[in-house]
Chain A
Amino acid sequence: MAAGIRIDPYLVPALDGVAYGLLVFVAAAGLVLCFGVAGILNLAHGTLFAIGGYTAAALLDGGWPSLALALVAGTVAAAAAGALVAGLLTRSAARSHLTQALLTFGVALAGGSLLVGAFGPDDPPVRVPAALDGSVAVVGHRYPAYRLVFIAVAALLAGLLHLAVRRTRAGMLVRAAVDDAEMVAAMGVSPTRIRVGVLAIAGGLAGAAGVLGAPIIGPGTDTADTVLLLSLVVVVLGGLGSMAGTLLAALAVGQIQTLGVALAPSTAPFLLFAAMAVVLAVRARLPLAPRRAT
């Protein structure tokens, strides 16, 4: 069979891996911001994504205005939920990761139940704008139009995020807070404000990913867990230091989940975690690189 391997059948999975990877990136970027920058382990992150997904399902009606409305509403709702989590994390609780994990875990439980209570136990249908509800020809293959556009939009989001962290005052403050939180506090910027801000922005990112990604990882009772798991894998693979690392890790996860499955379907259940184990094993043998912020 080795001679029979052709590239052609794997083009679509490879392209799909990019779409999937970028979605995972936008979702995981929030978690990296929280954990890597603010030092907060937010296990309710997947729930924030689910808020965006359910908002999309509730508001999308097949037209463009509804997509814009859903994007704004989903982002704002998830950002508000993120700020709420930050509010719950009092200064004392913020100190230990175990306390944070327990608290945000509880928030995820309660949030998940509230979502199911509000939207029902069934996976709700998501209607994308009619113009994108079809497939287009890509180098001789059919590929969903929505996913193609999603790749462009998510790439734009990734670029904006990079610029925001590198170039804006807020981004610099946040990076400064990682390097030396006490110094930033001494400069008159409240760490609480940074924490609330970071969690709200992370929530907004998750919400936006949830809305835009709803046609790919649809809202449902398992969505929050799936997204949290994938985001944590990205955090482990990409490290907490940089958005570039996160992007690479997310794209790798995307390819493992699509191209990897297409190439070796029988190993599909283990591929992701095998990759994670390899990265951890390799990293353990390397001298510790100094932690950089972005």
Chain B
Amino acid sequence: MSLSFPRHRRARTAALLALVLLAPTACADNERGAPARGAVKIGLLASLSGTYQAVGKDMRDGFELYLSTHDGKLGGRQVELVVADEGNGAATAVPAATKLLKQDRVVALTGVVGGGSVAAVYPLLNETKVPFVGANGRPALKDVSRVWHTSYLSDEPGEAIASYVHDNVDGSVYAIGPDYQGGWDELRGFTEAFVKAGGRLANPDGKTTFTPFPATTNFTPYFARIKASGANAVYTFYAGGAAVDFVKQYAQSEIKDLPLYAAGFLTEGGVLDAQGPAARNIYSVLNYSPDLDNAENRAFVAAWKAKKDGSPTTYAMASYDAAAVLDRAIADAGDDPTPERINAAIGRLGQIASPRGTWQFSPTTHAPVQKWYLRQVRPDGRALSNTIVGDLATVGG
């Protein structure tokens, strides 16, 4: 029923869309990919309004940071970046993507927060034959010949940390997560690899406990069940507001002394500030941490901090990398970087130097084969930060 739907955001997004659709179409007659001499037009679609706007804005800022630290050029060509609002999902993402692909005629599309949005935009990509370098959401797709992701697949964080949890927890582990596609994937990645490694789930029926999403705001009854199960540790995945509720209530619950392991999104970005001291000591797995010690990351973090408060997130980093991917692919695409040639060039990239460490696209999934890191929330000066504790598995492909 509509009461549970974020109405105000819809209304605002609708107003924004109306503005977008009213915008003049000065460039519509140009050839795709050649709006001006030697320049290229890139489309960035991300949630600038709605539930995921913190993630979307991080992605936009990450891409723009790469441009501003590279003279506004990708592959030696001046870039005209066209930003559009993905809103809350497919309903707002499709018209925005249609405008970018058909009216602005961009040579490549990047960004996109939600996996649902990617799935909805996917037919448009096939129709216009424009390559998509996604920086976050990744649904299951049949044909990824024009789809690339600089982020990860949803089951990879859990897969990467499973054997570490098995080695370091003396006893059984309780698995709990939100009841939607992202939650199923994240938890399945963990439980499958964990059981395969010889681990035992503490859940009574051996199956992950899924909480209604996004309706669950009170986790106390679940904590009581975890306590009763006799678990020795907990593995979870939540993001956004649910992550704040989960962590704050966990710290005051009767299972507060059980070690908490999680996919990194539980304590990533703005949610960590909202969680405060309650998040201390939580272990999480992610493909990035701002304190990684490599030249690319030092330059990235320094450039980010010169412009913004706080440290960059994995969302900003993935979008920064999407720009790096396009930078090298456009340079490699010849004198006339058409969408088709850029797409072919992405497939030839090989190793990519990145703030997260070196990675490459998997030839089968077109998502990164990358190293995952174990992080722990520790005090860093006055604030809390996700500090690297060690390396985990290299996963992907």
Contacts and interface: CB of A to CB of B under 8 A. Distances in A.
Interface of A: 6, 8-10, 12-13, 16, 20, 105, 108-113, 116, 121-125, 127, 134-135, 141-146, 216-218, 220-222, 225-226, 228-229, 232, 257-262, 265, 268-269
A220 B241 contact: yes
Contacts of B145: none
A125 B274 contact: yes
A17 to B, nearest CB: 8
B252 A144 contact: yes
A54 B252 CA distance: 22
A217 B217 contact: yes
A222 B240 CA distance: 12
Contacts of B79: none
Contacts of A228: 3
A16 B7 contact: no
Interface centre among A111, A142, A228 (most CB of B within 10 A): A142
A272 B234 CA distance: 27
Contacts of A8: 228
B220 A13 contact: yes
Interface in B220-258: 220-225, 227-228, 240-241, 244-245, 249, 252-254, 256
B221 A262 contact: yes
Contact of B220 (A16, A122, A222): A16
Contacts of A229: 3-4
B384 to A, nearest CB: 12
Contacts of A108: 7-8
Q: How large is the interface on B (under 10, 10 to 19, 20 to 34, 35 or more residues)?
A: 35 or more
Nearest to B10: A109
Given A12-B254, A113-B12, A123-B241, A20 B6 contact: no
A225 B223 CA distance: 25
B245 A142 contact: no
Contacts of B228: 6, 8-9
A194 B211 CA distance: 43
A112 B214 CA distance: 18
Interface string B1-44: 00111111101100000000000000000000000000000000
B270 to A, nearest CB: 5
B167 interface: no
A121 B225 contact: no
B218 interface: yes
27 contacts: A8-B228, A105-B7, A108-B7, A111-B8, A112-B8, A121-B53, A121-B54, A122-B271, A123-B244, A125-B274, A141-B227, A143-B252, A144-B252, A144-B253, A145-B252, A218-B244, A222-B214, A222-B241, A225-B3, A225-B4, A226-B4, A229-B4, A232-B3, A257-B218, A262-B221, A265-B222, A265-B225
A180 B233 CA distance: 62
B225 A262 contact: yes
A111 to B, nearest CB: 8
Nearest to A121: B53
A143 B214 CA distance: 24
